Amino acid sequence: MSLLTLGCARNEVDSEELAGRLGEGGWELVDEGADADVVVVNTCGFVEQAKKDSVDTLLAASDTGAKVVAVGCMAERYGKELADSLPEAAAVLGFDQYNDLAERLNDVLHGKPVESHVPVDRRTLLPITPVKRQDAKDSVQVPGHGWGPTKTPRKRLDDAPVAPLKIASGCDRRCSFCAIPSFRGAFVSRHPDEIVSEAMWLAENGVKELFLVSENSTSYGKDLPREQGALEQLLPRLASIPAIERVRVSYLQPAETKPSLVAAIAKTDKVANYFDMSFQHSSENVLRRMRRFGDTDSFLKLVWQIREHAPEAGIRSNFIVGFPGETEEDLAELERFLTEARLDAVGIFGYSDEDGTEAENLDGKLDTDTIAERVQRIGNLVEELTSQRAEDRVGTEVVVLIEHEEDEESDCVGRAEHQAPEVDGECIVLEGEDLKRGDFVRCRVVDSEGVDLVVEVIEVLAT
């Protein structure tokens, strides 16, 4: 059996849970590209391109002659509809079938019919009141919850020195453009002891950096007792684990980011000065139509608050342009925010309708040419601004986690505190032939290439 993972870091965690479950069920995992009787594809269903990539991967896996099984977000979101339109898939399974996945693969292998998943709105499966969800969550299959080193072991699928660690699942927000809550469900936190236990296991298996993931990390703990429940309380516990040298938080909602959380991230030893803020836009008009809160000035105030605590902090975000009803004035407001905020990394996405969302039925839709023009316009501005931000770091010192050793074909490459895995650029380390994967190295920035930094080694830090 082979396992292919598409999408975000949350999906990577889910795949390692599935690998653990399948191993316990007697399945042997082989490397991607090796001969396999069954290929499990952990799909992504977030945006149109991700769905296309998932379908293409399923079709390519089928071309190998293996039995193909679709799991993950796209399978959960579309279920039988996906199965009917994609007969190449031997089975389309939802989250509720993860406990029995090994048995379902046995059925697939032996040609037994497997009933396709029938989607439901997963927000309806847990109580509306957050504090009642902890008692009810054991009756609902929530990927990444209720398992760990003392239950179903997580099986690492690579030996990277960084690993995602899920702290919560689901989302209670009702952003008009987003379908994720309908198939990921209501927000529910993992118990901090369970998170710490898994983090310790990861540290024992070679991990140096923990990348905390969820759909909304700023909501962590709202469904837990007060003495257990804040992210500010969890961070020091994780940072104190032997062998863990860096803890990174992802996906913060600006409207929920309290000053105490900003201070905890900025001031807690070994927690990266990194703020992954979900701004999405800065025009108050557009944000209200998105069913979100804030405006340019309040967002700038948050950015300045972060930099008062940590001037070199990395701040990144994603933005949607071309949202229904977006005017030239709204776009100019976004440009004002981006110009003054000077973020380190920015993703720009053109609006497209998502099945079952409120925005799908909003008036004021813009044509595709206008959206494409605005994506190009804002994208060009972002490229210039983020390159300038990287240039500003020339002459400063950064601590780099080495991820790729130097060889005849590639440079020694790592990431500084302000650079998350895969999305925020990297550090190219000069004369790094003696460095090993997993080393932490104090470096001086000598040049920049776009958002990437060129650095020279000052010293290898003891870990």
Mean predicted lDDT score pLDDT of the chain = 92
Enclosing domain of residue 438? 396-460
Structure confidence by residue, pLDDT tens digits, 313-341: 999 999 999 999 999 999 999 999 999 99
Q: Is the pLDDT of residue 279 over 90?
A: yes
Do 400 and 387 share a structural domain? no
pTM assigned to the model: 0.93
pLDDT of residue 462: 76
pLDDT of residue 150: 54
Half-sphere exposure at residue 460, Cβ-oriented, CA atoms within 13 angstroms: 12
Q: Is 412 annotated as a binding residue?
A: no
Do 340 and 235 share a structural domain? yes
Do 253 and 180 share a structural domain? yes
Do 175 and 106 share a structural domain? no
Q: Is 443 annotated as a binding residue?
A: no
Structure confidence by residue, pLDDT tens digits, 63-77: 999 999 999 999 999
One-letter-per-residue 3-state SS of the chain: CEEEECCCHHHHHHHHHHHHHHHHCCCCCCCCCCCCCEEEEEECCCCHHHHHHHHHHHHHHHHCCCEEEEEHHHHHHHCHHHHHHCCCCCEECCHHHCCCHHHHHHHHHCCCCCCCCCCCCHHHHCCCCHHHHHHHHHHCCCCCCCCCCCCCCCCCCCCCCEEEEECEECCCCCCCCCCHHHHHCCCEECCHHHHHHHHHHHHHCCCCEEEEECCCHHHCCCCCCCCCCCHHHHHHHHHCCCCCCEEEECCECHHHCCHHHHHHHHHCCCECCEEEECCECCCHHHHHHCCCCCCHHHHHHHHHHHHHHCCCCEEEEEEEECCCCCCHHHHHHHHHHHHHHCCCEEEEEECCCCCCCHHHHCCCCCCHHHHHHHHHHHHHHHHHHHHHHHHHCCCCEEEEEEEECCCCCCCEEEECCCCCCCCCCCEEEECCCCCCCCCEEEEEEEEEECCEEEEEEEEEECC
Structure confidence by residue, pLDDT tens digits, 232-256: 999 999 999 999 999 999 999 999 9
Do 199 and 153 share a structural domain? yes
Do 170 and 38 share a structural domain? no
Please identify, among 95, 119, 143, the residue that sits at the C-terminal boundary of a domain: 119
Structure confidence by residue, pLDDT tens digits, 109-164: 999 999 999 999 999 999 999 989 988 887 888 876 755 555 657 889 999 999 99
Mean pLDDT of 284-306: 97
Please identify, among 119, 145, 179, the residue that sits at the C-terminal boundary of a domain: 119
pLDDT of residue 147: 53
The total number of structural domains that make up the chain? 3
CATH, residue 418 = 2.40.50.140
Do 192 and 79 share a structural domain? no
Please identify, among 339, 363, 392, the residue that sits at the C-terminal boundary of a domain: 392
- Whole-number Å distance between alpha carbons of 109 and 87: 16
Do 426 and 384 share a structural domain? no
Q: Is 171 annotated as a binding residue?
A: yes
Do 222 and 103 share a structural domain? no
Q: Give the rounded percent of residues in the chain with a pLDDT score beyond 70.
A: 97
CA 193 centroid distance within chain: 22
Which of 26-35, 169-178, 355-364 is predicted with the least confidence, judged by mean pLDDT?
26-35
Which of 116-130, 271-285, 364-378, 381-395 is predicted with the least confidence, judged by mean pLDDT?
116-130
CATH, residue 93 = 3.40.50.12160
pLDDT of residue 226: 81
CATH, residue 193 = 3.80.30.20
Do 149 and 250 share a structural domain? yes
Do 314 and 442 share a structural domain? no
pLDDT of residue 89: 93
pLDDT of residue 246: 98
Do 241 and 372 share a structural domain? yes
**Range among 3-17, 23-37, 306-320 with highest mean pLDDT value:** 306-320
